[in-house]
Amino acid sequence: MSVTEEQFRRHVRQLAAARGWTLAYHTHNSRRSDAGWPDEVYGHPQTRRTLFVELKTDTGRIRPAQREWLTHLAASGLETALWRPRDLSLIVATLAPTGPRAQLPESWTRNTQ
C-alpha cells in the first residue's frame, strides 16, 4: 500500500511527538516560501537535538533547491535526513531520544535521490 507524502509526513510527526520531539515546524504553504527548505524541523529540548527532515514517497524526487539546502545543513553539522516510507525502522530508531544522529543517505553524493 502506498501513502501520499502528506500521510507520511503526518505519521512521522506523530512518531516524533510520541518520542519527545515537542517542537515541530512545517511550512504549510510552500508556494509562497523560498524553494528547498526541508519539510519538517523537529526539536527535542531534553536532548538538545534539532532535526531537519525532507520527506518523500518511495518514488518522490528531490528538487535541486531541496538538495542544496539539505547538503548545506548537513555540511554545517546539523542533523539532516531524507526519509521515505521504506525507511520506517531507521526513522523510529533516529527519533528515539538516545537514537543515532540523522544523516543523509550514503547514496546522496551519487546524485541519485
- The pTM of this model reads 0.90
Strands 23-26 and 40-44: antiparallel
Q: Is the pLDDT of residue 111 over 80?
A: no
Mean pLDDT within 73-91: 96
Q: Give Cα separations from 71 to 9, 21, 40, 50, 64 (angstroms).
A: 21, 23, 15, 16, 10
Name the average pLDDT for the chain.
91
Residue-wise pLDDT for 58-76, tens only, equals 999 999 999 999 999 999 9
Polymer length of the chain = 113
**C-alpha of 20 from chain center:** 16
List, in order of start, the domains of the chain with CATH numbers. 5-105 (3.40.1350.10)
Q: How far apart are CA 38 and CA 54, in angstroms?
A: 5
